[in-house]
A = this chain, B = another copy of it.
C-alpha cells in the first residue's frame, strides 16, 4: 500500500480529469488538483460548500472562491507555464494518507535547469484555511519572479457570479472581497505570504490582486515561499480565528494536518490483503469522502460531485443517503448526523415543494440546495438536434427521493443508537415523507391494491412509468418506518410526544400507513423469477446495449426522454430492480436474486456511477464474488482512473464521484466482508473474491468502535471482532 496516486509527465488533455483526481479539501471547500499557474481556462476551482448564486436564466450553482493559490513563475523575463513551455520532468503526486498534493516540474533551458516544487493541503481544524508551499531551485544564475496573489477571475458554468470586487492590500496580506449577484452576500479571501527573499510589487488588474516577487538567484540557490489562504463568506457564523502567519506556521500546520489524517485513518482505513490495488483504490475513495465531509457544520450535506466544481448545480441528490452515508455512519457518525440534519432542517422546503404540486407531506428536492430549494429544472437536458430544452421529469416524478431520506435516518438511528435524531425533527421528517406517499397512492376503483403511477425510478431512461418496483418498495419502507416510530412513540421524551400529538392525528396516520404498507403493489417474480422493473417493461424491445448505442445519431444525444434510443427498449441506465433487491435481499430467494442479476446486468448501460456498486453488492449476496469484483473495482476507481464523460454539449459535467466511492465502501463492508446488523449485533458473513486473504476495518456501532479482522483460511473464514 503506497497511499499515492500520481501522474508523471505533463499531458494537457489530462488537466480536467486531474482536477478531480488530485482534489484536496476539508468539507468547507474543495480545491481542484490544477497547477499553480492555471486559471479558469484549465478549470481551476476552490469550490465552496453550501453557498449558491444564480445569474439571470442560468442554473443556480455553488460559488468558486477567488483563487489565492495562483502563482506564475518567470525566469530571466520568460514565462514558465506548463501550457506554454513543456517541462522535461513533471509529476503530480497526491499522498492521500497525508492528504497533501505535491507537484514537481523541471524545465531544461540552454543555461540549465529550473525546478519548481509545490505542496498544498486544506486545514482540517480551521476549515477556512489552505496552505501552500512554493519552491524554485535553479542550477544557473538567473533572475526569477513569481507573480502570485488572488485571481478573482474564477471559472463559472453559469456565471459570472461576482458583480463587485474590492481588492486591497491589508497590512501584509492581500484581500479580495467579492459580492454575488443573487443576494448581497460576500466571499472574502485573504492571502498571507512568507518568502525567503525578494522584493515585492503589487499589481492590481481587473478582478485580480497580485504581488510580483522578484529576486536574483545564484546557481544552486533556492527561492521559497509559503502561503496561508483564509476564505470566509457572509454565511459563516463561526468566529474568525486570527493567528499571525510566520515562517514556521506552514511546517507546524502540516504536522497537525498529518496527525489529523493519521487519526482519521485509524478509524476509516480498510485493509485488504492479497489485493494491493483494491486496497489502494478503495482507500483513495475513502480519502475523497473524508475530504468533502462537512465537519465544520452541524447541518450540511454533500453534493453529487462533491466539492470538485459546479457540476449538477452543486446540489445534493439521493446519492448522499443511499450511497455515501454508510461510510460516515460506520467511521464518523457525527458527519452522518450532519448530513441527515441537513435533510431534517430542509423539511420546510420539502413541504413547500409538495404543496407546489398539490401534494401532501414532504416531497424532497431532486437537486437540493440551501433550504431544500430544488435546483432541478423542468428542462434539464438539451436536445442536441434542435438545441431546445427538453421537458424532463426528474423534478416532478422521481418521487423515490423522499424515501431515501427516510432510509438514511432510519439507518442512522439503527446503527448509531442515537435517538436524539428523532427528537430533533427526524420523526416529523419520516411522518411527512409517509404522508407524501400516502397522498400519492391510488387504487383502481375496480381493484384492490394500491399503486404509484407516473413516476421515474432510478433508471431515468424510462420516464413516467407505473409501479416502478424500486419506488413502490421504498414507499412501503417509508410507511413501515413511520408505523414503527408511531408505534413506539411513547418511548420518546415527553416534549417530543406532545409535539407529535399536537401536530398529527396519530391513530389515523398509523392506520393509513399500515394500510399503505399492506396494500401497496409490489411486482412479483414471474415464472422465470424475473421481477418487472415497471408495468409494461417486459413488452419493450429486447436489444443489446451495443445495438442501442449503434442507433445514436449524435454522440451527445440523450438516451432517455420520450424518444431516446433507450426509451422504448429494455436497456436501462443503472441498477433499478437490482438496487432494491440488494437493499431488501432477505425478502427474496437466492434464486430470484441471481435470476434478476443475470437478467438485468446485460440490459444495463451503467450510465450512472451509482450502478456498478449495486451490481457488485448483490453479486456478493448471490455468492458470485468474482462477478462482483470488476463492478467493485469500477466503482472504487471512478475517480482514480478518471476518463469519464466530462462534457455534455457545452456544459461541464465532469467532477469527482463520491457516491461511487461510497458504493465501493458499501460493497467492501456489506458485500465482501458481509457485515450486517441484526438485533443489535454485528454479523459478519464474509464472501471474499478468490485472491483476497484478509480484511481489516473498524465500524462504529451503537456508540462503540469495533475492529473487525477477517482472515480467509482455505475455504473458511476466521472473524475477530474486538470493541475498542
Could you list which residues of chain A lie within 8 angstroms of chain B, going by C-beta atoms?
A: 360, 383, 385-386, 388, 390-391, 438-446, 450-451, 453-454, 464, 512, 515-516, 519, 553, 561-563, 567-568
Contact = CB atoms under 8 A, between A and B. Distances in A.
Contacts of A445: 438, 441-443, 450, 515-516, 519
A567 B444 contact: no
Given A453-B454, A454-B454, A464-B464, A563 B446 contact: no
Contact of A562 (B441, B442, B451, B562): B562
For A464, A515, A562, the residue with the greatest tally of chain B CB atoms inside 10 Å of its CB is A562
A142 to B, nearest CB: 60
Nearest to A391: B568
A446 B512 contact: yes
A652 B453 CA distance: 38
Given A553-B386, A563-B562, A568-B391, A441 B438 contact: no
A464 B391 CA distance: 14
A194 to B, nearest CB: 58
A443 B438 CA distance: 13
A391 B516 contact: no
A282 to B, nearest CB: 42
Given A453-B453, A454-B454, A383 B563 contact: yes
Contacts of A383: 563
A382 to B, nearest CB: 11
Nearest to A464: B464
A120 to B, nearest CB: 46
A444 B439 contact: yes
Contacts of A453: 442, 453-454
Given A385-B386, A391-B567, A567-B391, A446 B454 contact: no
B450 A441 contact: no
A228 to B, nearest CB: 51
Contact of A441 (B360, B391, B444): B444
Contacts of A512: 446
Given A390-B563, A441-B446, 19 more contacts: A383-B563, A386-B553, A386-B563, A391-B563, A438-B446, A439-B444, A439-B446, A442-B443, A442-B444, A442-B445, A442-B451, A442-B453, A445-B519, A453-B453, A453-B454, A454-B454, A561-B563, A562-B562, A563-B563
A385 B383 CA distance: 11
25 contacts: A360-B446, A383-B563, A385-B386, A386-B553, A388-B553, A391-B562, A391-B567, A438-B445, A439-B446, A440-B444, A441-B444, A441-B445, A441-B446, A442-B442, A442-B443, A443-B443, A445-B450, A445-B519, A446-B512, A453-B453, A454-B454, A464-B464, A561-B562, A561-B563, A562-B563
A353 to B, nearest CB: 15
Rank and list the top 5 A-B pairs by shortest CB-CB distance, nearest first. Answer: A562-B562, A441-B445, A385-B385, A442-B442, A439-B446
A465 to B, nearest CB: 11
A639 B567 CA distance: 40
A388 to B, nearest CB: 7
A639 to B, nearest CB: 34
A568 B392 CA distance: 11
A440 B444 CA distance: 7
Nearest to A387: B553
For A390, A438, A445, the residue with the greatest tally of chain B CB atoms inside 10 Å of its CB is A445
A440 B445 CA distance: 8
Contacts of A439: 444, 446
For A390, A441, A516, the residue with the greatest tally of chain B CB atoms inside 10 Å of its CB is A441
A540 to B, nearest CB: 11
Contacts of A386: 385, 553, 563
A252 to B, nearest CB: 59
A542 to B, nearest CB: 16
Contacts of A562: 390-391, 561-563
Contacts of A440: 444
Contacts of A567: 391
A307 to B, nearest CB: 34
Contacts of A451: 442
Contacts of A390: 562-563
A557 B444 CA distance: 37
For A441, A446, A516, A561, the residue with the greatest tally of chain B CB atoms inside 10 Å of its CB is A446
Contacts of A438: 445-446
A144 B561 CA distance: 64
A271 to B, nearest CB: 51
Nearest to A565: B388
A543 to B, nearest CB: 15
Nearest to A466: B454
Contacts of A446: 360, 438-439, 441, 512
A352 to B, nearest CB: 16
